[in-house]
Each structure stands twice: as structure tokens, then as C-alpha cells.
Amino acid sequence: MSLHLTPLPAARFDEWRAASRQRLIDGNRRSGRRPGADAVGHVEHTFDELFPEGVATSTAWVASIVDAADGELGTLLLALNGQKLVLLDLVFETTSTDAQRDDLLHGILQIARDRGATQIAMPLFPQDTAARAFVEGRGFEVASIQMVLEPLPVREVAGHVDVRPMTAERFPRFVAASEEGFAHDLAESGRYTPEEAAAESHRQMLAELPDGLDTEGQELFTATVAGTEVGILWFGMRRRDGRPQAFILDIEVAAKQRRKGYGRELMHAAERAARRLGAESIGLHVFGFNEGAVELYEQLGYRRTEESLLRDL
């Protein structure tokens, strides 16, 4: 193996940190994942958490990517999060070859094994061609996708679905089903064990709906056709670069009502409700295995702002 990873000298850490910080800010802004000041706040918080002891922090590593023949090719940032080794920043100063990328993966896998990790995770912006060349064909799978619709379109569509605010009587059944469904999807994505997924789903439900149906900024709806319930819709009002955004937290068409176009109509209803509440965009998260949903969202004009990739050891 001609390529190896060597710890970045402490004397270079501050210079690397400034450059990496700016790369991640620029990446967030260019992709639309976190525009404007949102990108700065997120990246600064990330670095504060990653390096509480500066270069001496034991759970995050910065390495030089060195080729025996070509010298230093670039740098990478790795961080241990539970049993995941996360590749947060990868930069090649020169174009890398397939052989060099294979060697790089071998080096990262060895670091992961040495630290007891069972997976390698990597966030990826759509425009990051060098990082995408590294993951392609090397066992990584898309675990989840962040998407945004901006600006909100004005559609002239005839609706057949009646979408109304969820009632207090319907709410308990919704919570139970939504929490169970999200836990299943978390486990299916490979990001959590079934036990971890159940705990994480419950935690997020409590965090989003601390006051139940009366939680401020949370909008929950049921959809019916001719008096028969066909689905549910839930989104929360958030801020994106200082402007209001609706973020879809759950959207579900009843199992017996699928393949009738109701999913598309629920998404149209989300646009109307979001616009009525002053939102200028809609964001959402979708699991990578849900290819039908991804296709629908892209047909509706949503674009990918970030993908989370996973590779099992």
C-alpha cells in the first residue's frame, strides 16, 4: 500500500482548523443545507464539540493523506461517535486515483477497527465531487437524505383530499403509530439497533411535542376522502437563515389507500398550509431506502442538500 495516514503536526492544527471550518461553511451554504449565518453557527458548534481540548482531543483525529511517491495529497477529519467513525472533512489537494482512494479506505477501516467502531459514516454535499469519487463503489450506502423545496411553488391543482387539523381524539393513535414507524425506519436504515431506534424515536417525539397537540409551532393534520381517513401530515415551523420554514416530520398514507395519488396531494396540502403560515420553504428528511418517496419529492421540485452515507465494517 503506497498511501498512508499520518497525524497532522500540532503546529499545523490552527491553520488546518481555519481552512476546514471555512470549507464546511461554504459547503453548507452552496448546497443550501444551512444558508447564511446558519452555516457559521452550525460549523462553529461542531468544532467546539469535536475539539474541546484542541489538538489533544482523543476522540477526533486530523490526518495527512500521504502517498509514498507523490507526497501529501490532502487531509481528513475523523471523529468517533458511539460505534460510528465519522468522516467529516476530506480534501484532496490534487486529483486522486482509484488506487489511492482504495488505500485511503483501507487506512480508515483500520482506524475504525482499532477504535472499536462497527460503521463508517460520512455526510456528503451534492457538489462534493472528490468525496463522492471516494465513496462510490466502496460499499457505502445512502442512509438518509436532507431535501428542501424553495421557493414554494404556486400550483393550480384540483384536490380530492380533505386535509384538516388533527383532533384530540385522533392524536394518541397518531403518536403511537408515528413513534413505532419512525423507530422501524431508523433500524431499517442501519443507523441504529432496534432497541436504540425505539429509544431515539421516543426521545425525538417528546422533544418535538412536549405539550402534545397543543405544542406551539407544530401543525398536525388528518386527510380524508369521502369521510374515510387516507393519511396524516405533520410539520413543524422552524427558522432557516432567519426566515420561516416548514419542516415535514411525518407524512403517511394509510396502507390500504396507497397508489392512488394521495401522497402527492398531501404534499400539495403541505405547501398550501406552509404558505398560509408564512413559510418560504419546506424541508424534509427521507431515508435512503425509501426510493419511492425520494422520487416523488424530486418530481415535486425538492432538491438534495445533504446525504448521510454508511458503510459497515
pLDDT of residue 244: 98
Cβ neighbours, 10 Å, residue 306: 21
Write the pLDDT tens digit of every residue in 166-188.
Answer: 999 999 999 999 999 999 999 99
pLDDT of residue 1: 65
Q: CATH code at 267?
A: 3.40.630.30
Task: Please indicate, yes or no, whether residues 135 and 166 belong to a single structural domain of this protein.
Answer: no
Task: Please indicate, yes or no, whether residues 181 and 292 belong to a single structural domain of this protein.
Answer: yes
Question: Which string of b and e fits 85-106 if b means at least 16 CB within 10 Å?
Answer: bbbbbbbbeeebeeebbbbbbe
- Quote the cell numbers at residue 91: 480534501
pLDDT of residue 302: 98
Who's near 219: CB < 8 A, 6+ residues apart? 165, 234, 235, 236, 237, 246, 273, 277
Question: Residue 238 in 3-state DSSP?
Answer: strand
pTM of the model: 0.94
Task: Please indicate, yes or no, whether residues 126 and 182 belong to a single structural domain of this protein.
Answer: no
Instruction: Identify residue 239 by its one-letter amino acid code.
Output: R
Decide which of 89, 104, 139 is a domain's last residue: 139
Residues 245 and 279 sit within 8 Å (Cβ to Cβ) = yes
**Residues in the chain with pLDDT < 50?**
none
Instruction: Identify residue 225 by its one-letter amino acid code.
Output: V
The number of distinct structural domains making up the chain is: 2
What gap in Å lies between CA 99 and CA 20, rounded to an integer?
25
Task: Please indicate, yes or no, whether residues 131 and 14 belong to a single structural domain of this protein.
Answer: yes
Nearest Cα neighbor of 205 from 240, 160, 250 is 250
Residues 56 and 74 sit within 8 Å (Cβ to Cβ) = no
Task: Please indicate, yes or no, whether residues 126 and 224 belong to a single structural domain of this protein.
Answer: no
Write the pLDDT tens digit of every residue in 103-127.
Answer: 999 999 999 999 999 999 999 999 9
Task: Please indicate, yes or no, whether residues 291 and 171 belong to a single structural domain of this protein.
Answer: yes
Supply the range of the domain harboring residue 86: 3-139
144 within domain boundaries? no
14 within domain boundaries? yes
Task: Please indicate, yes or no, whether residues 101 and 21 belong to a single structural domain of this protein.
Answer: yes
Task: Please indicate, yes or no, whether residues 51 and 168 belong to a single structural domain of this protein.
Answer: no
Write the pLDDT tens digit of every residue in 215-236.
Answer: 999 999 999 999 999 999 999 9
Task: Please indicate, yes or no, whether residues 173 and 114 belong to a single structural domain of this protein.
Answer: no
Q: Is 21 exposed, middle or buried (0-12, 13-18, 19+ CB in 10 A)?
A: middle
